[in-house]
Chains A and B, each alone.
Chain A
Amino acid sequence: MNDNLIIRDIEFKSRLWVGTGKYKDFEETKLAIEASGADVVTVAVRRTNIFDNKSENLLDFIDPKKYKILPNTAGCFTMEDALRYSRLARETGISDLIKLEVLGDEKTLFPDACATLQATEILAKEGFIVLPYINDDPIMAQRLVDAGAAAVMPLAAPIGSGLGIRNPYNIKIILEQATVPVIVDAGVGTASDVAVAMELGCDAVLLNTAIAGAKDPIAMATAMNHAVKAGRLAYKAGRIERKLYATASSPIEGML
């Protein structure tokens, strides 16, 4: 049975989405993404290096025909900047998808909820497929869906922190209420964090630093590839209830 993730009319082959930042070089980026099995890669919008036009371009290594390119608004601290970056991203002609980040604070990189909500509303009206990065806040998730978000992307923990899911109960509430896909974004540290997110029932996980910052990024990308699949299967399989006391696995009957 097809278990692919669908957002609006876009079908995603992988439930692991990966970033392209912080790698040693484009070659390592390419190898890690291949090993991760992801078919969605996030990118940032920045000034072209106009005085060195021979410098390599990321899209020479990440083929937009093979991968879905998800531009972000990373680094934007105001709604106006986030709108500007989103519109520029779309103008490249790659896609209408936007991973909307409007940051509220440099130290935590937590999202500015009010600005994110306003930007989501405006961009959704302009026809963008808006995937907003939010705190693990069930009320905010609802508001964003009402504003036109195509999915919500609650953080596991602060960006790049590697702490894993800090509040699985809030993520569960978001999942219970959500009428759009829920993608855990940011704060994942290792494979088990990805498995936990998927076992909770999240639709996908987006990560960057956990792979790019690992001692062996290619090996970690492979681990993440397995973890997302294992977590998804475990979720679909339906785990046993947690109990305080033991239940024997071997029968009493037939004992001497």
Chain B
Amino acid sequence: MTLTLNGEKTDIHDNLTVEGLLGYLKIEPARVAVEVNLAIIKKDDFHNRVLKDGDKVEIVNFVGGG
């Protein structure tokens, strides 16, 4: 399937949950927030939210700012 991942079209295997995606990207779930198609996914739902072809996924964290 193809996801739009932080604004970039990315091909990735099917039947992937948010947790699976973070694991694939080697991103620590504790440090990030995830949005799929503009809806925030709660951390408790990372393991059961299955991603679909065409989903727009945003993964954010904290950076330096004032």
Contacts and interface: CB of A to CB of B under 8 A. Distances in A.
A binds B: yes
Interface in B45-66: 58-66
Given A48-B27, A50-B5, A91-B33, A159 B66 contact: yes
B43 interface: yes
A43 B33 CA distance: 14
A69 interface: yes
A9 to B, nearest CB: 23
A83 B66 CA distance: 18
Nearest to B57: A50
A92 B33 contact: yes
B42 A91 contact: yes
Chain A, interface size: which category? 35 or more
Contacts of A206: 66
Give the interface centre of A53, A69, A160, A209 by most chain B CB atoms within 10 Å.
A53
A42 B65 contact: yes
Interface string B19-51: 000000111001111110010101100000000
A36 interface: no
Contacts of B43: 91, 93
A69 B63 CA distance: 11
Give the interface centre of B25, B27, B33, B64 by most chain A CB atoms within 10 Å.
B64
Given A50-B27, A53-B25, A59 B62 contact: yes
Contacts, number: 100
Nearest to B33: A91
Contact of B63 (A46, A53, A87): A46
A115 interface: no
A208 interface: yes
A113 to B, nearest CB: 20
A72 B66 contact: yes
Given A50-B5, A57-B31, A88 B60 contact: yes
25 contacts: A19-B65, A20-B64, A21-B65, A22-B66, A23-B64, A29-B64, A43-B62, A43-B64, A47-B6, A47-B60, A48-B27, A50-B25, A53-B25, A53-B26, A72-B66, A88-B33, A88-B40, A88-B58, A89-B33, A91-B43, A92-B61, A93-B43, A94-B62, A207-B66, A208-B65
Interface of A: 19-23, 26, 29, 42-48, 50, 53, 57-59, 69, 71-72, 74, 84, 87-89, 91-94, 159-160, 186, 206-209, 212
Given A26-B64, A44-B62, A160-B66, 6 more contacts: A29-B64, A45-B63, A47-B6, A48-B6, A50-B5, A71-B62
